[in-house]
Amino acid sequence: MDLRKLQRVIVDALEDVKGQDIKVFNTEQLSDMFERVIVASGTSNRQTRALASSVVEKVKEAGGYVVSVEGEDAGEWVLVDCGEAVVHVLQPTFRAYYNLEEIWGGKPVRLKPATPATGARPAAKKPVRKPATRATTKAARKAPAKKAPAKAKTPARAARRRAA
C-alpha cells in the first residue's frame, strides 16, 4: 500500500472514533524501521482501545498489513505497528508525560483534508436557524410597556404637580 494512502486511512480511522489531537510525523531520517509516526489521544481506556481497533480494521479493509498491536490490555497507551507507519494512541496524561512529539516531531506532515471520491467540492455549511420558542413569540406579541410617570422628589414639586 502507498504510504500516503496508508497514513490517510489511519487518520480517517482515528477521526471516525473521535481521536483527539492527531499528529503525523515524517521519520524517514530518524529511523529505518518506519517512515511515519502518528500520535493521537483518547479520553479513556475504552476509547484508546476503540481507536486502535478502528485503525487495525480500516488498514486491513484497505489492503494493508498490521504487524502487531501492543498495550490493548491496559488501554492507556496502545501502539499499532502498520509496517511503514506506527500509531501511538495515548490518554492525555500519558501523552504529556512521555512527550512523543519531542522525540519524533522533527518534521510534521501536513495532510490534505479528505475529499469525496467524486471530486466534488463539499457543500458550504448554512447557518442553523434556531426555532422560535414559545417565550419569544409571546414576548413579541405583547405591546411595549408604557412608561410610568416620574415620582415627585420634593413636597414643593408634588404640590405643583397636583395644582397643574
CATH of residue 97's domain is 3.30.460.10
Average of per-residue pLDDT across 31-56: 92
Q: Give the total number of structural domains in the chain.
A: 1
Q: Which domain holds residue 33?
A: 3-108
Question: Is residue 140, in this structure, part of any structural domain at all?
Answer: no
Question: Is 54 inside any structural domain?
Answer: yes
Predicted pLDDT at 48? 94
In the chain, the DSSP E strands lie at 20-26, 36-41, 68-70, 77-81, 85-90, 107-108
Distance CA 137, CA 84 (A): 60
Q: Is 36 within a domain?
A: yes
Cα 54 off chain centre by: 17
Of 114, 84, 111, 91, which is closest to residue 23 (Cα–Cα)? 111
Q: Considering the domain boundaries, does residue 129 fall inside one?
A: no
10 Å CB burial of residue 119 (0-12, 13-18, 19+) is: exposed
- 163 lies in some domain: no
Asked if residue 162 is part of any domain, the answer here is: no
pLDDT of 120 reads 45
Please tell me the pTM assigned to this model. Answer: 0.66
Q: What pLDDT, in 10s, does the model give residues 87-116?
A: 999 999 999 999 888 888 765 676 666 554
Give the three-class secondary structure for 60.
Answer: helix
DSSP state of 70: E
Q: What is the pLDDT of residues 119-151, one digit of tens each?
A: 444 555 555 565 555 555 555 566 566 666 665
Looking at residue 78, its pLDDT comes to 94
Please report whether residue 147 resides in a domain: no
